[in-house]
A and B are shown apart, each in its own frame.
Chain A
Amino acid sequence: MSNVRLYMEFFKGFWKENPVFRQLLGMCPTLAVTTSVINGISMGLAMTFVLVSTSIVVSIIRKIVPNQVRIATFTIIIATFVTIADLFLKAKFPPISKELGPYVPLIVVNCIILGRQEAFAKKNPLHKSFLDALGMGFGFTLALVILGAIREFLGSGSILNFQILGGWFEPWVIMILPAGAFITLGFLIALMNVIDQRLRSAV
């Protein structure tokens, strides 16, 4: 029984409480960096790293942090891990770091991370917080990869820089411009709502 509950903590981030499609949190990197699949993957993984590390630390120290300074404490922890992720990308993957630009340091103010600390990690034990953060991180990554794949396919005719559509294809430039991000996100959320309604009425 408790195992089933634990699975739920992990998998709720993918569909039921997906941070991008359901909670509509963290829209800034979602819309800005998803011009290609590789950007989506790297942004998603950087975010997952920060989310999981912060949730672990917050969950461990949750009982000793006074309520009045919890936000300040969480922010310091988040900022520390974001800087670590940023330095790591700069040292090991300079092209990706250049592509993501300011959006890695901006993870500090991403509301998914602070939101999970407030809503979950500060009230739950370590193993649950870890699964919750991992699920949310992967859910976020998945959303970014889907968005990136659609936009890269229609906007550049390729997936992961691998040209799929030939020279006859005129790329839809709008898809890699900001407007394309909003259009794609809107259609995806609509699609999820339709599927959700069908599922519910079927039950």
Chain B
Amino acid sequence: MNISARMIIVLTVVCLFSGLSLVFVNQCSKPQIEKNAVDTTQKAVYKVLPNVKNIEKVVSGETVIFKGFDKDGEHIGYAFVAEGNGYQGNIKIMVGISPELEKLIGIEILESVETPGLGAKITEDEFKCQFKGVSVSPEIAYVKGKEPEKPNEIETITGATISSKSVVKILNVSIEKVKEILKGKENRGEAKDE
């Protein structure tokens, strides 16, 4: 057979098989992959808002905010994903905040690529737990090498000041954003009521 014809036939058949098997595998794995992504987010919401029984999605543009209710249906806080630059790359944080948007309830690092052993300590409890109950007004601040004194202060990690600062900055920026979004929603809601 002509060599060109053979090349075309072989490549076409190989590509066809490859395409078909990929379609099949993709069909099988897609629901599971989507479920995993939803699970990870929801698990993080339950972690940053302890005592939450039900969550409700409040979507507004790109930002997804979750409203958390306890077992009596009481609104006990909001949760949302904050994102920004760290020392080496993107940091993604799930933030839990009180309904008045005054105090943090908890944070959980979803994704980060900080230096192992130094910046990566932002994912450890010792650092994360500092944010429990921290006041966000006027904004979160950090101190270096000493115990935090004011209610809005946290202590940075030794050897990972930039990573710690980044977390604080990401939180401040996104809390500000969420405040505006929720305020806008409220105003619109009131306008509707009138």
Binding site for B on A (CB under 8 A): 35, 61, 64-66, 68-69, 72-73, 76-77, 79-80, 83-84, 87-88, 90-92, 94, 98, 155-156, 171, 173, 176-177
With A88-B29, A90-B29 known as contacts, the answer to whether A35 contacts B40 (CB < 8 A) is no
Query: What are the residues of chain B within 8 A of A68 when measuring CB–CB?
Result: 3, 7
* B76-132 with Cβ < 8 A to chain A: 111, 115-118
Query: What are the residues of chain A within 8 A of B29 when measuring CB–CB?
Result: 87-88, 90-91
Nearest-neighbour CB distance to chain A for B172, whole angstroms, equals: 27
With A76-B14, A77-B14, A177-B115 known as contacts, the answer to whether A87 contacts B7 (CB < 8 A) is no
How many angstroms from the CA of A64 to the CA of B175 in the assembled complex? 62
Nearest-neighbour CB distance to chain B for A178, whole angstroms, equals: 10
Nearest-neighbour CB distance to chain A for B27, whole angstroms, equals: 10
Q: A64-B6, A156-B117 are known contacts; what are 11 more A-B pairs with Cβ within 8 Å?
A: A35-B116, A61-B14, A69-B11, A72-B11, A76-B11, A76-B14, A77-B18, A90-B29, A91-B29, A91-B36, A177-B116
Query: What are the residues of chain B within 8 A of A98 when measuring CB–CB?
Result: 111
Size bin of chain B's contact surface:
20 to 34
Greatest chain A CB density within 10 A among B33, B115, B116 is at B116
Query: What are the residues of chain A within 8 A of B63 when measuring CB–CB?
Result: none
Produce 1/0 per residue, B1-36, CB < 8 A to A.
001001100110011011001100110110011001
Query: What are the residues of chain B within 8 A of A64 when measuring CB–CB?
Result: 6, 10
- Residue on A nearest B32 in the bound complex, by CB: A91
How many angstroms from the CA of A98 to the CA of B7 in the assembled complex? 39
How many angstroms from the CA of A131 to the CA of B6 in the assembled complex? 30
Interface residues of B: mostly helix, strand, loop or mixed? helix
A-B contact pairs, 29 of them (CB 8 A): A61-B14, A64-B6, A66-B3, A66-B10, A68-B7, A69-B7, A69-B10, A72-B11, A73-B14, A76-B15, A76-B18, A77-B14, A77-B18, A80-B18, A80-B21, A87-B25, A87-B26, A88-B29, A90-B33, A90-B36, A91-B28, A91-B29, A91-B33, A94-B33, A173-B116, A173-B118, A176-B116, A176-B117, A177-B115
Kindly identify which residue among B11, B25, B33 contacts A73, using a CB–CB cutoff of 8 Å: B11
Nearest-neighbour CB distance to chain A for B94, whole angstroms, equals: 15
Produce 1/0 per residue, B29-56, CB < 8 A to A.
1001100100010000000000000000
Please state if B22 and A84 are interface contacts (CB–CB under 8 Å): yes
A-B contact count (CB 8 A): 66
Query: What are the residues of chain A within 8 A of B36 when measuring CB–CB?
Result: 90-91, 94
Query: What are the residues of chain B within 8 A of A92 when measuring CB–CB?
Result: 32
Please state if B10 and A87 are interface contacts (CB–CB under 8 Å): no
Please state if A79 and B11 are interface contacts (CB–CB under 8 Å): no
Query: What are the residues of chain A within 8 A of B7 when measuring CB–CB?
Result: 66, 68-69
Nearest-neighbour CB distance to chain A for B44, whole angstroms, equals: 13
Please state if A73 and B116 are interface contacts (CB–CB under 8 Å): no
- Residue on B nearest A64 in the bound complex, by CB: B10
Please state if B25 and A155 are interface contacts (CB–CB under 8 Å): no
- Residue on A nearest B111 in the bound complex, by CB: A98
Query: What are the residues of chain B within 8 A of A66 when measuring CB–CB?
Result: 3, 6-7, 10
Nearest-neighbour CB distance to chain B for A63, whole angstroms, equals: 11
Nearest-neighbour CB distance to chain A for B42, whole angstroms, equals: 14
Nearest-neighbour CB distance to chain B for A154, whole angstroms, equals: 11
How many angstroms from the CA of A160 to the CA of B179 in the assembled complex? 43
- Residue on B nearest A35 in the bound complex, by CB: B116
- Residue on A nearest B120 in the bound complex, by CB: A176
Query: What are the residues of chain A within 8 A of B33 when measuring CB–CB?
Result: 87, 90-91, 94
